[in-house]
Chains A and B, each alone.
Chain A
């Protein structure tokens, strides 16, 4: 993975949203330019992708549920699953009423 080949997917996570809000605040206060904020966001894309694949490698999760809606568009899967039961690392179980899953392709376009 190099250059711009990082998904912007994780910007919607809580850490990404927190960053976006923080950047918004700085822009509104005229402390930084929007261009710089965009740069920071793409740095974030890179950092979180690398750190996740490195540090969360051994962490597993499984879940079961009822698929409500699915969509495959532009190489992105979107699922909405109802009555979802998660089994986290260490046998922790979490139940959710409904979850949306957005998944990008693990294999980048162009890669074998």
Chain B
């Protein structure tokens, strides 16, 4: 079945891209750890999309395995939905699970437990805990392949676990306002601007930042931005609009949300633009973005509008259900209302599952 091809092909694509990007990472002076992180996140996202079974996914939990560690994992992991038996190569999976159990740091494990408890109704499909477990496994795998010292491995796992907490906050949205602290504590969010999540700061740090922030607000309604101070790295983010595919994933890691509406320095009236992201950017960049939007408005003609309409029809109906075929066409012919097309090298997503084809034939009437 062509769906089984998907796992292999996607794995090869990921490996190829990662290997081919190694030089680019070196040239940019970015460590290989980040490249590995990219690979891990990429695979995780793909698994969460549920388009198929992938070689990097953990063993299907239904497979009976005698190891105690495996049973232990089973009791923790929610049942993953799947229809396909996973073809695993060799005995790799067994070793992986054992190793993971043995060497996962106790504090990360307890934190994972803590997060899970405080999570309201974890959803099996976007379960961050499971993603984190999976990521941890990958780290172990890398570590074994590349002989990475254990302390680095443990640190990476902890990092992934923390991120699981972060993802979770954004994932379940509703009852999840407030700051999740690395220790497992939580500060209730009162400003209503969406989940504010902090990463990699101790409780003391957060306390100090909160205090600073409140003091500043009291003393002056100035255009100073609290987040500029809290994290100099964040403020150096460039507004990459083209990369920002959608705003659905609200994964912003800024420290403290601004509690007040009117005091906001960004008092221009583009409220829709005014989301979390702006906190980390200079007002100049916001202005720049605004002018960019104006420009595009100016360029747009009536023709473009009709095209937008066309697209919006698709977006509403076609893509929301995830049914999309991307391919190359060799021949498209029509006689009267009968169409025939010969397609090549396609990726299709039908009812949530991905399929690939080298050659496709379509017949349809208008």
Binding site for B on A (CB under 8 A): 7, 9-10, 12-15, 17-40, 43-44, 46-53, 55-67, 69-72, 77-81, 84, 86, 88-90, 92, 94, 96-107
Contacts and interface: CB of A to CB of B under 8 A. Distances in A.
8 contacts: A18-B45, A26-B41, A36-B25, A56-B357, A59-B5, A59-B359, A63-B364, A101-B324
B357 A32 contact: no
A103 B329 contact: yes
A24 B354 contact: no
Contact of A18 (B21, B46, B324, B339): B46
Nearest to B31: A31
A33 B341 contact: no
Contacts of A37: 240, 243
Given A22-B42, A44-B17, A101-B327, 17 more contacts: A9-B326, A15-B354, A17-B245, A22-B38, A37-B243, A43-B17, A50-B16, A51-B13, A55-B5, A56-B357, A60-B359, A61-B2, A62-B363, A88-B355, A89-B5, A99-B323, A101-B362
Interface in B318-349: 318-319, 321, 323-330, 332, 339, 341, 343-349
B347 A10 contact: yes
Q: For chain B, what secondary structure do more than half of its interface residues adopt (helix, strand, loop), or is it mixed? A: mixed
Given A59-B358, A88-B355, A92-B1, A26 B329 contact: no
Q: For chain A, what secondary structure do more than half of its interface residues adopt (helix, strand, loop), or is it mixed? A: mixed
B1 to A, nearest CB: 5
Interface string B260-279: 00000000000000000000
Which of A39, A44, A56 has the most chain B CB atoms closer than 10 A to its own CB?
A: A56
B362 A64 contact: yes
B90 to A, nearest CB: 21
B326 A13 contact: yes
A35 B29 CA distance: 13
A64 B338 CA distance: 11
Contact of A100 (B3, B234, B325): B325
A51 B2 contact: no
Which of A9, A28, A32, A38 has the most chain B CB atoms closer than 10 A to its own CB?
A: A28
B329 A51 contact: no
Contacts of B240: 27, 34, 37
A100 to B, nearest CB: 4
A84 to B, nearest CB: 8
Contacts, number: 274
A77 B346 contact: no
Interface size class of chain B, counting residues whose CB lies under 8 Å from the partner chain:
35 or more
Interface in B199-223: none
A39 to B, nearest CB: 5
Interface in B129-145: none
Contacts of A59: 2, 5, 356-359
List the 3 shortest-distance A-B pairs measured between CB atoms, nearest first: A100-B318, A18-B45, A61-B357
B24 A61 contact: no
Contact of A36 (B28, B324, B348): B28
Contact of A21 (B8, B17, B249, B363): B249
B233 interface: yes
A98 B45 contact: no
Contact of A56 (B9, B238, B252, B353): B9
A40 to B, nearest CB: 5
Given A44-B17, A60-B359, A103-B329, A30 B323 contact: no
Nearest to B249: A21
B82 interface: no
Given A36-B25, A61-B346, A102-B326, A22 B8 contact: no
Given A10-B347, A17-B245, A21-B245, A77 B237 contact: no
